[in-house]
Structure 1
Amino acid sequence: MFAKLPLTALRAFESAARLGGFKAAADELVVTPAAISHQIKTLETSLGVQLFTRTGQGVLLNTNGERLQRQVHAALHDIHLSLAAFQCEPDPLQLNLTTTAAFASLWLIPRLGEFHRRHPQIRVRVQTHNQVIDLHRDSSLDLAIRATFSTDPSLYALPLFDEHFSVYAPPGWRVPEADGALELIDAPWISATQLPIDWEHWCAQAGHEDWLGRAIRHGYDDEQYALQAAMAGHGLVLASNVLVSDSLARGLLVPWREDIRLPAAHYAAVCVPGREREPAVRAFMDWLANLI
């Protein structure tokens, strides 16, 4: 009975009609505007009528499109409600947050025990991703902690701290003699400025250009591994003051030439506006704010 229903085309049509354009629909459905246009043309051909009026400024629903939009929107809304009836109600005492693996392991997890002691009724689930998750699309996530390079006006944000990069060493480290082995640890760091985060720029600012010719370089593709290598005594590491803070507090690393700093990102806790008032999110943000 429903085998030949053009559901993909109908969903593309409903989104374009509701949002007022093919590009907006493409953004919502995570496809290209060309894909939306193709689906609309397929639907119009199958119906034998035009649904949009094409103009130099975009597209407008015509009479046929307005009629179909009311019917399709109502039908899809009913399907949405039917599916929602099978889903569990969100648990107000469950907090789902996303952040990077490095931040979770090096900063958040060492401190999370204090939050659990203050709020034993709230269960925190930490998901790690190196990609930025769209919180508007993934409603299962309550909160994200991000190293941001620009403000997202569509999200509620709690600024946390500014990040910079300095050099850190194992306790007791000394600069080797001219003929001694100088070990430098590399990792892929990202800056909010045009200035790369690398040993070349740090050495130029510190006046240690001679290091580059004599150094043995150890490269890692993950921030955690680079810090672990430094703690194991494998050399100096150019690292984030945020990610290294717990290692400093435990005496596993010490700053070296901390006066030389390369600016980087700004950390913030972000959520969809309105969710900051939910009890678990509010408690977690208050806890973060007290740590700043």
Structure 2
Amino acid sequence: MNNLPPLNTLRYFLTAAQTMSFKEAADQMYVTPAAISQHIKTLEEFLGCQLFERGHRRISLTRAGHALLPDITTGFDYLNKGVRNVALDSRPNVLNLTVIESLSSRWLVPRLFRFQQRYPHINVRIQPTNRLLNFAQDELDLAIRFGQGEYKQLESRQLAGDTMHLVCHPRLASKILTPVSLRTHPILKENSSDVMPAWEQFYAQHAIAPNNDLSVLQVDDSSITIIEAALAGQGVAMIRHSLIYEQLERGQLVKLFDFSFDCLYAYYLVAPSAHFAREKVQQFSSWIKEMFDEMPKLG
């Protein structure tokens, strides 16, 4: 052990090497880029060699860095596995969740009191983010993702599929009489891999050239922004049923041309396999499945 550098320097090196960015590594480790740089400098001084080439806007691994990375990766994998095997659940009354932002704010949080009424002894902590966080570093119990269920070294259990609707504010809907007339009205577009295929099918179904869109707002992976803009009457949007079915029921939004598209993605519970044996995770998994089953189907 006397021949090893400080463990934190190796952990910071691994994160920087995986992200190829001191700034992104700092974001993941909740420190400053300067702290990342200092720890790596300490490691380089201990080893007597340079691990990163530092450019103006990017970094890259040196030959020594490339040689070190596989062993450090394997070492931390074994450390994490050993800790998980010994400490199956050190905090049985705390449930740490990471949830995609749109589902967290528009669907989960308004219902969470029902889980807390059923299990008052469990303290739920939510991290809303569209990034898949590190379960070991962030002490997470469970993630809810919207995707294809393929996450390296993690188990995925499907919760539910979803459907896209073409929607807008009722005031705007009265002016859009045909699919072709949509070309003269503002479009709200989310540039994400689950939304764009729905638009493509709508264009193909009605022989509309997408280049003719009057697009006033485009965002990357932000359903919340699109929903708020649609509720404000700012344009037409393609939005998931799970996020707006209540607004459709209340008449705050209306479907256009009865268009729907089965999503290519689905909602998944995601975690290391061992986490699904935890009682609190089983309780939450069962409860949230009930909540999805209660959701009104397409009508």
Task: Tell me, in whole angstroms, the C-alpha distance in 1 between the residues paired with 2:271 and 2:277.
Answer: 10
Task: Tell me, in whole angstroms, the C-alpha distance in 1 between the residues paired with 2:232 and 2:66.
Answer: 57
Listed as ranges, the matches of 1:59-74 within 5 Å are none
Higher helix fraction (1 or 2): 2
Unaligned runs of 5+ in 2: 20-60, 70-74, 294-299
The secondary structure found in structure 2 opposite 1:257 is strand
Task: Tell me, in whole angstroms, the C-alpha distance in 2 between the residues paired with 1:250 and 1:121.
Answer: 35
The residue that corresponds to 2:36 in the other structure is none
Amino acid at match of 1:110: P
TM-score in terms of structure 1 length: 0.63
Instruction: Check the 8 A contact 1:148/1:265 in 2, yes or no.
Output: yes
The secondary structure found in structure 2 opposite 1:186 is strand
Alignment RMSD: 4.1
Listed as ranges, the matches of 1:11-160 within 5 Å are 30=18, 35=64, 38-39=67-68, 90-135=90-135, 137-138=136-137, 140-152=139-151, 154-160=153-159
The Cα shift of 1:8 comes to 6.8
The residue that corresponds to 1:219 in the other structure is 218
Task: Tell me, in whole angstroms, the C-alpha distance in 2 between the residues paired with 1:179 and 1:277.
Answer: 50
Closer, same or farther: CA 227–285 of 1 in aligned 2, 3 Å: same
Count of residue pairs brought into register by the alignment: 230
The residue that corresponds to 1:288 in the other structure is 288
Closer, same or farther: CA 203–262 of 1 in aligned 2, 3 Å: farther
The secondary structure found in structure 2 opposite 1:130 is coil
Unaligned runs of 5+ in 1: 13-25, 41-71, 82-86
Larger-Rg structure:
1
Closer, same or farther: CA 211–34 of 1 in aligned 2, 3 Å: closer
The residue that corresponds to 2:22 in the other structure is none
Instruction: Check the 8 A contact 1:200/1:209 in 2, yes or no.
Output: no
The residue that corresponds to 2:47 in the other structure is none
The secondary structure found in structure 2 opposite 1:238 is strand
The Cα shift of 1:110 comes to 2.0
Closer, same or farther: CA 39–257 of 1 in aligned 2, 3 Å: same
Closer, same or farther: CA 251–112 of 1 in aligned 2, 3 Å: farther
TM-score in terms of structure 2 length: 0.62
The residue that corresponds to 2:46 in the other structure is none
The Cα shift of 1:247 comes to 3.0
The Cα shift of 1:140 comes to 0.5
Closer, same or farther: CA 197–37 of 1 in aligned 2, 3 Å: closer
